[in-house]
Structure 1
Amino acid sequence: MLDILEKKLTENQTTRKGLTTAEAEKRLSTDGENRLAKKKKTSAAKIFAGQFHDVMVMILLVSVVISVALGQYADAVPIVLIVIINAALGFIQEYRCEKTLEKLENMTAPTAMVYRDGRLVKIPASEVVAGDVFTLEAGDRVPCDGYINSSRALSCDESALTGEAVPAVKKCRTSEIDFTALNKDYMVYMGTVVTKGVGEVTAVATGERSQMGRVSTMLDEIKEPETPLQKKLGELGRTLAIICLAVCVVVFIAGVLRGEPVLNMAMTGITIAIAAIPEGLPATVTIALALAVRKMLKRQALVHRLHSVETLGCATVICTDKTGTVTMNKMTVTDIFTCTEKSRAYGVTKEGASFDEKALKAWESPDLGRILLCGAACNNARLCPP
């Protein structure tokens, strides 16, 4: 058993070339980072301006202008305050969420095991370049498109690209030269997940040039639809605008037919139309949504847009991938059980194994020693000298 372990560790130390650090930096500056196309960051001014795009808010702003023009400042001031409060609540929520999402993105940035200067090192996936040689094992997310140099029982979940739920079985590349098509068994693709096996891959396409990058570029061209609540409020706003204009015209015509002064009837009609507008509705909706967001935040749920709360309330089933989302995508041994004549349960911590809360060396228990020896021989761990 010791001979097998020594042989495996020696094999893991075999030097592989890959790219040099200088060459990788040169390619990185030429090709750019290995990232999907990102939407431009929304500035604070743009987020604030976006709060005034609602139909109801626009109607209120028009009513403010008309009130000021008619000298009715007592009516204009409350409406202005309501609009500002409404915009401030929406702005604060979206701005905070934008910053939080940026921090979360930095925290969850993926990494890759790449050969640089003949050594296997962990680097941010954004620094992987074409020509890099990287390794994969079960649970890894593929950092870029590449062809397989060597593998053992390698399979990948490519449902994000192809929709196929069954993992794709992979093999080593021989003489194939087509690196731009999908469904190639000698290729791995950015964003897919290794379900089992191990492999060594040479990167051929990164960032927007990868298959996932092409999909991302197409998705960016899709406009973000309105939520059901926004659609309903928009319809209500347009209906109110039509009603207000109709009332204004009817009052104006009726007054003129009765012989009232034209200017007086115009002002009367406009005043009645403004009075018919529910100034408090936008603020009421925003405050209700803001309270709902606060409750969700207490339960560790982050809401990007206020109106999304109402949409989420309509959901009955939510489907999500738990790995790396609900769970940490890490497996840790916490206990070891032996089924020999002297069955024992050993505890495992970062410091080592223990029995009856006492630290234990591997050689102090033959059963534990054999288990650890098998574990050392049957894994992908590597000794990386400093």
Structure 2
Amino acid sequence: MREIKTKRTQPAWHNICIDSVLEKLDTTSAGLTWHEAEALLNSHGPNRLLDPPKRSDIMRFLLQFHNILIYVLLGSAVITAVLDHWIDTFVILAVVLANAIIGFIQEGKAEKAMDAIRQMLAPHASVLRSGERHSIEGEKLVPGDIVLLEAGDKVPADLRLLKTHGLQIQEAILTGESVPVEKHTEPVPFDAPLGDRSCIAFSGTLITSGQGKGVVVATGTSTEIGRISGLLSEVETLTTPLVKQMGAFAQWLTIFILLIATFLLGYGYFVGHHEFTEMFMAVVGLSVAAIPEGLPAVLTITLAVGVQSMARRNAIVRRLPAIETIGSVSVICTDKTGTLTRNEMMVSSVLTHQHLFTLQGIGYEPQGTLLLENTEISPAEYTVLEELARAATLCNDAALHDHEGVWTVEGDPVEGALLAFASKIGIEIRKEQAAWTRTDAIPFDAKHRFMATLNHDHEHRAFVSIKGAPEQILAMCETQSVADGNVEPLNKAYWQERQRSCQGSSRARAGG
């Protein structure tokens, strides 16, 4: 039995060859034994993100009262109770309690949303243990385990890839790029940025196509997603402008009320010669009346309404006062495509042999308008659009889902965008796929740069669809469709020129 090394350094796994990786992890392509895996699990701990230190619910509720204006209101409640003004006491306490409950409930919702990042690791993983394939819980993965990857799987830990076959992984959660990354096994430079480490599969990312095998090099908090989770737990809590202004207002208001109260008490006792007890009760009553006990409740309710409005747009606001800061933002910096937050793609234009159509819509939502020269048109007027939409539907492995009004894609984002395009043209995706049964397919591969499908309808008619890189498709074509189902010789110069102009336009937008 091999000696189990419990203390390992963390080299740049993307920069070393496969044999060196296996040697440093003291494992083989057949995987660890069950005994070795158990010992390493005791050493490294489970493959999950640690829960950050949390305040108890009681402490979180009590902190809702940590505001100088609330302190003044509580003091006012005590004084009114001493003066037997019970109605005023109950009103003030009700306002303070409502303020605390609203803030407590809203922050509790935000905390649950923030906890979602710790659920991003895969619940199960297919591994090789002693040369045999087994399915184990993702938490029990250890460095040195050999993991088998297939399309649709979520990567359970950071892996150094050992074998790949058409493997593509969606890494938008780390890099913000919506296009899946093609993976291989060759080492990359030491200083390669995260998005260029093509021999590494990162924990929490999704495999969109292909197969692969990799060795676990990092688990739990040692992974890239774990590092991000750790950075989130170290975020410094800053005071928002609204909280600062309210604190300053409460301080000056309290000082002003105390000064006026002292002046009135002294004037009435020494100059007006009123009884001290009578003057004191009058001054206390005036002081309590001067305190805006409704201000904290109004402020909290207003912020809560803003938070709920943001939540309907899938924005998480952890602290109520932060909503005011968001409202003060005038510039938001993001990456050039906006995929950092949305990770959505959409077909924006369709080029035919005669026309350039533009489409409008939102993300993967299968609704939108079709424009030709800025004029809305009906897709039924152009049969070539229906042919393109049918090919986009049949030569496709993705699926669109509607979850509470939000459309998401399962599979490749490009294929999801093509399905949304087909729906906008008027194609009923499920009906079309049921009418044309797929009988054969050539999966997309970087070597040939295209995907093709063969479909038959119930009358035994065949329909071949193909999509891929423009230069590859042009090389396979001899004719092009024209009106009324006729064809003419392919005008390759036209398509190549339009391809170059589209690429130039894309680079100009990226540079802008």
TM-score (norm 2): 0.51
Task: Please give the secondary structure, in 1, of the residue aligned with 2:65.
Answer: coil
The aligned residue for residue 128 of structure 2 is: 116
Shift of 1:279: 0.3
Alpha-carbon distance in 1 for matches of 2:118, 2:197: 32
CA-to-aligned-CA distance 1:178-222 (integer Å, 9 cap, x gap): 9xx999886665567889997533212222234554564454333
Letter of the structure 1 residue corresponding to residue 342 of structure 2: K
Task: Please give the secondary structure, in 2, of the residue aligned with 1:116.
Answer: strand
Task: Please give the secondary structure, in 1, of the residue aligned with 2:433.
Answer: strand
CA shift in 2, pair 1:293/1:185, >3 Å: closer
Alpha-carbon distance in 2 for matches of 1:349, 1:127: 42
Alpha-carbon distance in 2 for matches of 1:67, 1:302: 40
Q: Is the 8 A contact 1:157 1:193 kept in 2?
A: yes
The aligned residue for residue 297 of structure 2 is: 283
The aligned residue for residue 207 of structure 1 is: 220
Q: Is the 8 A contact 1:21 1:116 kept in 2?
A: no
The aligned residue for residue 52 of structure 1 is: 65
User: Which runs of structure 2 are paired with 1:225-240 in the superposition (5 Å)?
Assistant: 225-240=238-253
The aligned residue for residue 13 of structure 2 is: none
The yes-or-no answer on 1:310 pairing with 2:391 is no
Letter of the structure 1 residue corresponding to residue 341 of structure 2: D
Shift of 1:242: 1.9
Letter of the structure 2 residue corresponding to residue 348 of structure 1: Q
TM-score (norm 1): 0.64
User: Which runs of structure 2 are paired with 1:187-266 in the superposition (5 Å)?
Assistant: 190=203, 200-210=213-223, 213-214=226-227, 216-217=229-230, 219-258=232-271, 259-266=273-280
Letter of the structure 2 residue corresponding to residue 283 of structure 1: A
Shift of 1:293: 4.0
For structure 1, which runs of at least 5 residues remain unmatched after alignment? 1-15, 336-344, 373-386
Letter of the structure 1 residue corresponding to residue 77 of structure 2: V
Worse-superposed segment, 278-287 or 289-298: 289-298
CA shift in 2, pair 1:350/1:111, >3 Å: farther
Task: Please give the secondary structure, in 1, of the residue aligned with 2:30.
Answer: coil
CA shift in 2, pair 1:114/1:23, >3 Å: farther
User: Which runs of structure 2 are paired with 1:52-71 in the superposition (5 Å)?
Assistant: 52-71=65-84
The aligned residue for residue 5 of structure 1 is: none
The RMSD of aligned alpha carbons is: 5.0
Q: Is the 8 A contact 1:154 1:170 kept in 2?
A: yes
Shift of 1:60: 0.9
Q: Is the 8 A contact 2:158 2:218 kept in 1?
A: yes
The aligned residue for residue 356 of structure 2 is: none
Counterpart among 341, 345, 364 of residue 321 in structure 1: 341
Alpha-carbon distance in 2 for matches of 1:190, 1:156: 11
Shift of 1:277: 0.8
**Number of equivalences:** 337
Alpha-carbon distance in 2 for matches of 1:323, 1:89: 33
For structure 2, which runs of at least 5 residues remain unmatched after alignment? 1-28, 335-339, 345-405, 420-428, 440-454, 468-512
Q: Percent identity?
A: 31
Counterpart among 388, 408, 411 of residue 330 in structure 1: 411
User: Which runs of structure 2 are paired with 1:139-150 in the superposition (5 Å)?
Assistant: 143-150=156-163
Alpha-carbon distance in 1 for matches of 2:89, 2:67: 19
Q: Is the 8 A contact 1:47 1:95 kept in 2?
A: no
Q: Is the 8 A contact 1:142 1:188 kept in 2?
A: yes
CA shift in 2, pair 1:92/1:351, >3 Å: farther
Alpha-carbon distance in 2 for matches of 1:371, 1:84: 65
Letter of the structure 2 residue corresponding to residue 33 of structure 1: P
Q: Is the 8 A contact 2:125 2:156 kept in 1?
A: no
Alpha-carbon distance in 2 for matches of 1:56, 1:328: 49
Task: Please give the secondary structure, in 1, of the residue aligned with 2:411.
Answer: coil
The yes-or-no answer on 1:128 pairing with 2:148 is no
